[in-house]
């Protein structure tokens, strides 16, 4: 293909990107202008997808890491026919399909939401793992590549360490990452913050690394070709690129390689917008244009892609006819079907820790759900995801026949990888660690919530009862923090996360049931380390625990109107039961309410909420988290007994007594409240 035309198309991307930012009066033109050459070659010569069926499961994936380079992606996808010139002109405007940072929109070719640097390329690692998982089950005909684009910021983010290590360890030769190395970042040049030899770093992790001129079409093409043939390792193409390529000042002199063009319109940054557009061959009065010859080239590419995809699909149909059972399985993997598990049949011994009852459920999942992948950040025997692992094997280079990912000690990487698997599709993704380390995962959990990905978090060791490990390991404020995502709505007007802290084994089975049924948002399960006395059952504890699907329900009730309603989540519910026994001896009528999810409870009808927590009856809440965790539910005339401080290192039983998490203290607190 003629490089004159190719370079003209890249200039077209530069023109559109710079014009979007100029018109919006905000955004990031410089990086986009430098990265345009790679994007253009990737989309015209390498990326396989079906423009007439953007959700085709076997498409190559492209994950952008630096979301601030959205103008580059939109301009690229505009050439490919997925955005109109009007869409480009409406960049960053209310209601436009071209938001400031890309928001997942597969129909238009946006595979992931990006913005927090570092996360995008880790999602690509997750997608690449998902692809290997599928190929291991259905065959090489399903193979596709996962491309990702990273910038200096993404390489500097700590999370890239986890992704680099994992992709190297797993030998993800299907992963090809382009590093837009323009040596410029937001407030400094890279040499003011690092002397790193990035090439050596990735080589040390087992990557295939090439360094090229990232603005040279032939070099990009050659590097991508070489990457296609790599059999053992993920590939990193370090493309040395020119920030603000093509930008000039009023007098026509170069305004390339300037920090200023990173994050503001060219005109504001010190360049001349008009002269730059003209320098790139555009019309500054009418810049939102695709050159006819570029349009023609992309139209041809579109046709070729549709033809190639149709041949691949023929291959798929042939395979489906020859393998009807596997074909049905493949369809079910990608259909978001809720696995048919009989949760009532899952047996738990009496008095289990909820992490242990979770392990019982996970064992059944491992046996019955073929497309569930569970991961742990090196705590599988503590967070009890080993209940799953013991029925399968962990992924390793060349062997993706199992269903477990040993993520190593890298919680944020793990959470991002799970997002990538969920985005790829075909996989039910779950991951575990200690609840206190949810802090390390929060940025990815937030992105899962924003992208509405049904990732499941298994957060164990839910309170100070981790005991001797001390305050570093004792979550206090974490529950209040994560429940804020239950209050934050996603763009589908639903709670952006479901957070469940089950009170005993039966409720843990139910919590897992709810988690699996929730295919619209992420779900967090907050589980205990210590054994919990099972809650009293009227007839069948599991059947009664099913009421957890309303977020809160009555575990035991008084005859007639209660004097007090006791409410809690998790293991504190059983402490309330002990307290209520003492109160009953004094004739105090108690209702006990388990609230595994305040968010879910508040989504119920006002009548239901009123029937469980009626106004006019005093309420006492107990939580091992901050009091604020329950304050919204007990109301102004109620009281919450919670943890007002960091925890302490001591045996769990001692802490219960010292900190007041006993039936006796429930008795005392309630007596005081009732006056
Ligand atoms: C986690 C995170 N921290 C900070 C930022 C703010 N930020 C956006 S772009 C940027 C600089 C990135 O530089 P580089 O990746 O080299 O992009 P370029 O200058 O080439 O456009 C920063 C600090 C962010 N988006 N994400």
The mean pLDDT values, 10 residues at a time, for the chain of 675 residues are: 91 98 96 97 98 98 98 98 98 98 98 98 99 98 98 98 98 98 94 97 98 98 98 98 97 95 94 97 98 98 98 96 98 93 97 98 98 98 98 98 98 98 98 98 98 98 95 98 98 98 98 98 98 97 98 96 98 98 97 98 98 97 98 94 98 96 98 95
Pocket of ligand 1 (CB under 6 A): 28, 30-31, 66, 68, 115-118, 151-153, 157, 182, 184-186, 243, 262
How remote is the CA of residue 462 from the centroid of ligand 1, in Å?
A: 34
How remote is the CA of residue 418 from the centroid of ligand 1, in Å?
A: 23
Ligand 1: residue of 72, 73, 185, 194 to mutate (most ligand atoms within 8 A of CB) is: 185
Catalytic residues: 411
Residue among 672, 607, 5 nearest 298 (CA): 5
What span, in angstroms and rounded, lies between the C-alpha atoms of 73 and 64?
Answer: 8
pLDDT at 1: 59
Q: Which helix (H) or strand (E) holds 593?
A: strand 590-594
DSSP 8-state class, residue 310: H
pLDDT at 291: 98
How remote is the CA of residue 96 from the centroid of ligand 1, in Å?
A: 23
- Identify the residue whose C-alpha is closest to ligand 1 atom 20: 31
- Identify the residue whose C-alpha is closest to ligand 1 atom 15: 153
Residue among 181, 234, 197, 194 nearest 65 (CA): 181
And the tokens for 349?
A: 């011994």
Q: Give the position, in ligand 1's atom list, of the atom nearest the Cα of 183.
A: 16
Question: For 323, phi and psi rounded to 5 degrees?
Answer: -130, 65
Q: Which helix (H) or strand (E) holds 428?
A: strand 428-434
What span, in angstroms and rounded, lies between the C-alpha atoms of 50 and 221?
Answer: 21
- Per DSSP (E only), the strands in 603-650 are 618-622, 639-641
Q: Give the position, in ligand 1's atom list, of the atom nearest the Cα of 101.
A: 25
Ligand 1: residue of 38, 67, 153 to mutate (most ligand atoms within 8 A of CB) is: 153
Farthest CA pair distance, the chain: 91
Q: Give the position, in ligand 1's atom list, of the atom nearest the Cα of 34.
A: 20
- Identify the residue whose C-alpha is closest to ligand 1 atom 22: 186
Residue among 63, 177, 43 nearest 127 (CA): 63
What span, in angstroms and rounded, lies between the C-alpha atoms of 675 and 663?
Answer: 18
- Identify the residue whose C-alpha is closest to ligand 1 atom 10: 186
What span, in angstroms and rounded, lies between the C-alpha atoms of 329 and 385?
Answer: 25
What span, in angstroms and rounded, lies between the C-alpha atoms of 466 and 528?
Answer: 9
Instruction: Give the count of beta carbons closer than 10 Å to the beta carbon of residue 74.
Output: 27
How remote is the CA of residue 65 from the centroid of ligand 1, in Å?
A: 10
First-to-last C-alpha distance (Å) of the chain: 86
pLDDT at 405: 98
Q: Give the position, in ligand 1's atom list, of the atom nearest the Cα of 243.
A: 20
- Identify the residue whose C-alpha is closest to ligand 1 atom 23: 186
Rg of the chain in Å (alpha carbons): 28
- Identify the residue whose C-alpha is closest to ligand 1 atom 17: 185
How remote is the CA of residue 31 from the centroid of ligand 1, in Å?
A: 10
How remote is the CA of residue 255 from the centroid of ligand 1, in Å?
A: 20
pLDDT at 460: 98
How remote is the CA of residue 28 from the centroid of ligand 1, in Å?
A: 10
And the tokens for 223?
A: 């590097």
What span, in angstroms and rounded, lies between the C-alpha atoms of 110 and 101?
Answer: 11
Tell me the whole-structure pTM to 2 decimals: 0.98
**To 10 degrees, what angle do helices 30-41 and 217-229 make?**
60
Count of H-run helices and E-run strands, the chain:
26, 16
């Amino acid at each position: 293909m003629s490089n004159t035309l190719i370079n003209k198309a890249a200039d077209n991307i530069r023109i559109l990107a710079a014009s979007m930012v100029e018109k919006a009066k905000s955004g990031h033109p410089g990086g986009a202008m430098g990265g345009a050459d790679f994007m253009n070659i990737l989309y015209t010569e390498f990326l396989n997808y079906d423009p007439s069926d953007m959700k085709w499961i076997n498409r190559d994936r492209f994950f952008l890491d630096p979301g601030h380079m959205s103008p580059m992606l939109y301009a690229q996808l505009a050439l490919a026919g997925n955005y109109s010139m009007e869409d480009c002109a409406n960049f960053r405007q209310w209601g436009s399909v071209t938001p400031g940072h890309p928001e997942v929109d597969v129909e238009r070719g946006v595979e992931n939401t990006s913005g927090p640097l570092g996360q995008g390329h880790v999602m690509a690692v997750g997608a690449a793992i998902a692809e290997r998982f599928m190929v291991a089950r259905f065959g090489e005909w399903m193979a596709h590549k996962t491309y990702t684009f990273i910038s200096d910021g993404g390489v500097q983010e700590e999370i890239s360490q986890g992704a680099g290590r994992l992709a190297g360890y797993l030998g993800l030769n299907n992963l090809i990452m382009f590093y837009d190395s323009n040596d410029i970042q937001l407030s400094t040049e890279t040499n003011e913050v690092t002397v790193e030899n990035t090439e050596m770093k990735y080589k040390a992790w087992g990557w295939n690394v090439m360094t090229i001129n990232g603005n040279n079409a032939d070099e990009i093409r050659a590097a991508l070709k070489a990457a296609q043939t790599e059999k053992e390792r993920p590939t990193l193409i370090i493309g040395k690129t020119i920030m603000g390529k093509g930008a000039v000042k009023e007098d026509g002199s170069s305004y390339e390689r300037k920090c200023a063009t990173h994050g503001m319109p060219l005109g504001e940054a010190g360049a001349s917008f008009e002269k730059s557009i003209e320098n790139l061959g555009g019309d500054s009065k009418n810049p939102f244009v695709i050159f006819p010859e570029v349009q023609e080239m992309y139209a041809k590419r579109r046709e070729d892609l549709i033809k190639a995809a149709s041949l691949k699909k023929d291959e798929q149909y042939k395979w489906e006819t020859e393998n009807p059972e596997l074909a049905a399985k493949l369809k079910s993997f990608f259909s978001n079907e809720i696995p048919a598990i009989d949760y009532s049949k899952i047996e738990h011994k009496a008095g289990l820790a909820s992490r242990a009852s979770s392990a019982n459920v996970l064992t059944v999942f491992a046996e019955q759900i073929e497309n569930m992948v569970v991961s742990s950040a090196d705590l599988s025997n503590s967070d009890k995801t080993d209940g799953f692992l013991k029925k399968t094997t962990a992924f390793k280079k060349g062997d993706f026949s199992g269903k477990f990912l040993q993520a190593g000690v890298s919680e944020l990487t793990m959470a991002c990888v799970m997002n990538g698997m969920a985005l790829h599709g075909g996989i039910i993704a779950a991951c575990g660690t200690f609840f206190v380390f949810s802090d390390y995962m929060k940025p990815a959990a937030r992105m899962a919530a924003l992208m509405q990905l049904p990732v499941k978090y298994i957060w164990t060791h839910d309170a100070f009862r981790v005991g001797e490990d001390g305050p570093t390991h004792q979550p206090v404020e974490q529950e209040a923090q994560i429940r804020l995502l239950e209050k934050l709505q996603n763009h589908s007007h639903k709670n952006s996360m479901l957070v469940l802290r089950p009170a005993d084994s039966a409720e843990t089975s139910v919590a897992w049931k709810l988690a699996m049924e929730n295919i619209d948002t992420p779900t967090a399960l907050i589980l205990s380390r210590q054994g919990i006395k099972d809650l009293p059952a009227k007839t069948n504890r599991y059947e009664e625990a099913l009421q957890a699907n309303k977020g809160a329900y009555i575990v035991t009730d008084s005859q007639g109107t209660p004097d007090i309603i006791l409410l809690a989540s998790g293991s504190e519910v059983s402490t309330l039961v002990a307290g209520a026994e003492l109160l009953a001896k004094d004739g105090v009528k108690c209702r006990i309410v388990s609230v595994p999810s305040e968010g879910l409870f508040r989504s119920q009808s006002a009548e239901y909420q009123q029937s469980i927590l009626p106004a006019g009856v005093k309420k006492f809440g107990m939580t091992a988290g901050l009091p604020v965790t329950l304050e919204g539910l007990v109301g102004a005339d109620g009281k919450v007994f919670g943890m007002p401080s960091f925890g302490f290192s001591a045996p769990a039983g001692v802490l219960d007594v010292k900190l007041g998490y006993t039936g006796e203290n429930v008795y005392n607190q309630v007596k005081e409240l009732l006056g």
